[in-house]
Structures are given as C-alpha cells and as structure tokens.
Amino acid sequence: MTAPAPDTDSFAGRDLISMRDYKRDELLAFLDEATFYEGYQEPLLKGKVLASLFFEPSTRTQLSFASAMQRLGGSTLGFSDAKLSSMAKGESLSDTIRVVESYCDIILIRHPREGAARLASESTSLPVINAGDGTNQHPSQTLLDLYTVRQTRGRLDNLKIAFIGDLKYSRTVHSLIETLTHFDNEIFLVSPQSLRTPPEFIEELDARGTVYTEDEDFFSIASDVDIIYTTRIQQERFPDPIEYEKVKNAYRIDREAIERVGADVTLMHPLPRLNEISTDLDDYPGAAYFDQAKNGVTVRKAILSLLLGASR
C-alpha cells in the first residue's frame, strides 16, 4: 500500500535547497501539482515579491523565474552581478539575506560557493530557492528535468537513461542522478576518463542498489536507451587545451548516433549547448531540450506558488 500523497499545503514556507530534502512521494506530489500550471496565468501571486539574488550570471534560470513570477501577477527585484551587491563591499552573505528579507516574500539565490543557499536559508524565515550553489545543487532544474521525463515517457520508473559528457562538474547531472535513485531505472554514465562521475555519487548509486554502467565509449551503452541526457563539456575544465580538443567532439550526438542506440529516444540537454547536439536533431521527434526550457516556467510557477502557500 502506498502512503497518501502529501498535501500541497505542506510545501508552504519550505525551502528548496537540495533534492536531498525531498522524499519520493513529495517529488511526485510536486510534479502532479506542476501539471496544473501549464499555461496558467491567474494573478495568484499578486502583491508578492521575489528577490532574485544572482551572485553569478545566469540567463534561463533567472529569466524563467522572473517570467513565472510575472505570469502569476507577482513582481521581482534583485541583481544579477555580485559586483552590484553589498558583498562587493565585504558584507557577509547572512547579513545581505537579513537585509533583503524585509524587501520581499521569497528569495532566489545563485552563488558560486557550494552551500551558500543553505546558509541563506538559515539566515531568514522566508522560503529560499537555490538557483545553483557552485557545483552542488540546482533543484529547480532537477524538478523540470523530472517533469520533462515524465511528460515525454509517461513514467519515472523502468527507464534506461544515459548521461553523457561532463559528469564530474555538472551539478545538473549530479542532482538528477541522485534524485533518480528514488526510482527504479538503469543508468549509463558515459564520459571521458577525466570527467567521470565523482565517487560520492557512485557510492550513492551503490547504496541505493541502482543498476548502472560507466564507460568512455558512447556506443558501448546498451541498445534501446529511452533517454539521453547530454551536457556541455566546458573548455575551462581542461588545463591542457590538447586534452580538450580530444574530447570535445567525442560525445557529439547526431541523427546517426541516436539511431544506433535506440529507436525511440528522448534527447535532453540543460542548455546552453555548443556542439554536443547537432542542429539536425532539432526536428527529431524525441528532441526535448527546448521543451525542458518551456517546462522551466511551468515548474517554477508551481515552485513559487507552493512555497508561498498560494492555493490555485
């Protein structure tokens, strides 16, 4: 017998810092609720203010939260460059948060240091959303990824999912792999040797009994893959430019590559892409990366409403 789904009111006032803080049934309740926000534009958050504190640049996360807030009648204030904040004058993060909390109802933070969002949440009683803390977590991206998986495949269990590219530094991948351990799937981890999944995540897969395979070769992954999740290999991660040149095209996915690993593949990417996904795949029926971006607004509308305790 499964436990009853948590009441959506139970999210009111909570933070969204790490996927570790949410259980499987809460994730499912979150995703169920998010489906109601597709195209939803009622002024549910009228009079509410989102403080958007970006100590590190972002395009889609910041804009999609702002879009979500405005589509629900709320407003946004904030900065998108640490140089514009008092941190540049040496103010501590905790002090910045204590000051900002009197200007708003909910706080969104991206920061280059891991753990910054957790510290921010301990400095205020307002809900705090982590929009990326260093290489650690990016939970709203994970929720929209899960939402897209369920939307395209109709389920979150019994899938063969391949992660390809930079599996060492990508917080998006870390957060998603970890969250997928709540579900029963087979995982393939394909990366160059220098960008392998960190051991702590591998240990987590072992501890949870998740079936996985690690390999350098994209075509070594089993056939009938349901989902390919690919990430950008960042040049700045390679001290030696020759090493970067060697791997940058090794994981490029085009139509031929896709057809070799599965007949019906969903192709995901958190964007921005460089040349990991050939543009000839943009009209491939399984290409879901622009759907992910679109779902970003839907899921973030749900996040804002649930944490602010606004009922539809």
Partner 1 sequence: MTEKSTAEPLIRVSALSEGTVIDHLVAGTALKVLDILGIEFEGAVTIGMNLESRKMGQKDIIKIEHREVSPNEVAKIAVVSPRASFSIIRDFKVVEKFSPTPPKLIEGLIWCKNPSCISREDRVKSKFVVVRMDPLQIRCHYCERSQRKEEIELL
- Site residues for partner 1, 170-209, by CB under 8 A, read 200, 203
Token pair of 62 as six digits: 């910041």
At 303, list the tokens. Answer: 């996040």
Nearer to partner 1, 45 or 97 (CB): 97
d(C-alpha 297, C-alpha 164), whole Å? 25
Residue selected from 86, 115, 184, 294 as contacting partner 1 according to rule CB under 8 A = 115
Minimum separation from the CB atom of position 220 to partner 1 (A):
28
**Which of 118, 273 has the CB closer to partner 1?**
118
Give the total of residues touching partner 1 (CB under 8 A).
Answer: 20
| Nearer Cβ to partner 1 (176/310) | 176
List, in order, residues 6 or more apart from 17 with CB less than 8 Å away: 117, 118, 121, 128, 130, 137, 139
Name the segment binding partner 1 (CB under 8 A); options: 73-81, 133-141, 224-232, 287-295: 133-141
Check the CA dihedral 143-149-151-155 and report its sign. negative
91 binds partner 1 (CB under 8 A): no
Whose Cβ is closer to partner 1: residue 91's or residue 224's?
91
Cα(144)–Cα(295) distance, integer angstroms: 6
Give the chain's end-to-end CA distance (angstroms, integer): 29
Stretch that binds partner 1, among 91-99, 146-154, 155-163, 261-269 (CB under 8 A): 91-99
Q: Is the peptide bond before 239 cis (omega within 30 degrees of 0)?
A: no
Q: Does residue 114 interact with partner 1 by CB under 8 A?
A: yes
Whether residue 110 contacts residue 55, with contact meaning beta carbons closer than 8 Å, is answered with: yes
Of 130, 125, 131, 149, which Cα lies nearest the Cα of 58?
Answer: 131
Please report whether residue 168 would count as binding partner 1 according to CB under 8 A.
Answer: no
The footprint of partner 1 (CB under 8 A) covers: 18, 20, 92-94, 111-116, 118-119, 133-137, 200, 203
